[in-house]
Structure formats: structure tokens, C-alpha cells
Structure 1
Amino acid sequence: MITEAGRRNAVKVLFVDDEFIEFRALKKKIADLSEPAVEVEYSPSIGDALEKIRLARFDLILLDNRLLPNADFRETVPELRGIGYTGPIGVVSTDISGGYFQEFPDYGVDFRIGKDEIDAQTLQHIIREYVNYDVPDFWKDDYSI
């Protein structure tokens, strides 16, 4: 969300997972993240996610690898891209060691990450790498040449 002064209030993240407990775990893990401010919304299915994306703007999507009735990200990510979502998409899975995960760029996925790897620092790093927003002053030293 961008304020009148052009500054972003919060990075909007859509977390898509058929297990609500995973969403609660994510919220708990990132509760200490203060910069940037993050708003996380939950979708239990790809259909629900598509509807939310049509109605609102999201800066980042974290997508569970397997969502019924789809097989995996090779089916769900093209659906997200097909409705015009151009922002970063990260596939989240309990196990990212399968060989087909090497194909993730071919399907419009920006990154993959294990569910056990996500915490406040990891999400902050992902946002720094993939989301375009106003960088706080205390980070600017990190980005100067």
C-alpha cells in the first residue's frame, strides 16, 4: 500500500496453503518483523487466491507446492501468471529436494524455499531481493556502490 506521500505502509503478502495451521505458524514466525511492515493474507486454495489477486494488489505470493486439485506449482503458478500477476512468487514446501524443483524458473517461479526455513530474517531477505518498495534509510548503506 502506498500513502499520499508515495511511501509504502506495508508489504502485502498472499500466503496460499491448504493448511491453515501453516498460515498461523508463518504469522507467529514473522511477528517480530518490524521493517518492513508486512501484511499477510491467507488463501486456502488456488481459486481463492485468484479471486483475491483480482480484487487487490499483492507485492509477494508465497505458494504451497501442492494444492488440490492441482498437482504442484507447475499447474498453479501458470494460473497466477495467466491472470496477469507479475510480482514475485515463491514456492514453499516441506521438501524442496525433488528434481522437478529445478524447473521452477520455467513456470514463472522466482524462488523456492522450505517451510522450515521461513522466519522473520528470511522473509526480510526475500522482500529485499524481490519486492520493490521504499528502502528504509538504515538499509541504504547496504545498497550503495
Structure 2
Amino acid sequence: MSDQFTSAVPPQGDYVAAVVHGGLVLTAGMTPRRAGVLQVRGTVGDDVDLAAAQEAAAMAAGNALLAVAEAAGGLERVARVLRMTVFVAAVDGFTEHSRVADGASRALTAQLGPRGRAARSAVGVASLPSGAPVEVELTVALAD
């Protein structure tokens, strides 16, 4: 059976949810999905407000952690989240990308404590897959 059908975070295309290499886990971009179904759709600053965008970012970060756990054999193997990139589909002129990304940061620290604090970028984009308002990707260091 392929990864698409066995993965806790099923890929939406021809890729894997996470790759383990050289003591690192790199995730694909994760959107706010449950059981493969997008839970929040729209553009931040238009039909998605800041609070909903933060919740969507938290859900996407949770999905990224789920992919890490599945690829690495559990979250106890995580030494530290090194880097997180949060893409925000926002209206022109929106400037609160970092506040949206705070939702994802809070989700990581809620799950991992200090190991979840990461270097972070929040990037505004015109659109994301399936109309998602946010997408999160992680780079994680594994314990020896």
C-alpha cells in the first residue's frame, strides 16, 4: 500500500509527508486538514480573519508534527524544531503575517515545550493549494 493511504497526513499529490535524512526530518508543506479534508479555506484579511488564520496555522503545524512523529517513530525522538516556515495567503496590503504564524508557534511549544521554539519565517503569498489560508513546513533535528 502506498504512503498516500497509510500516512496519518495523506499527501495531496506525488510527494511524501516527511523525509528523514542525516538526523533531520523535513516536512512537506502542511495545510489545515483533518482526515485529508481542508478545514479552513480562503484569504487572510478577506474571508479569513486573524483569529481563524491563527487557528488554521496551529492546525497546519499540528499536521506537520504528526508527519514528523510518523517519519521519525515518535515525537520523543525530536531534539528540537530548528526552522518553521509559515506561508500566508493574504490580501494585498496585509502585514500581520507574523501574528498568523504565532498560532503555529504556540502549537509547537504546546506539544514540545522549549524543543518547539524554532527560527521562523512568515511569508505572504497570493494563493496556496486547495485555497488554504496557511501552509506550514518544518525542519526538525532528531536526538541521537
Question: TM (normalized to structure 2)?
Answer: 0.29
- Bigger RCO (CA 8 Å, 6+ sep): 2
Report which of the two has the higher share of helix.
Answer: 1
Report which of the two has the higher share of strand.
Answer: 2
Question: TM (normalized to structure 1)?
Answer: 0.29
Work out which of the two has the higher radius of gyration on C-alpha atoms and give 1 or 2.
1
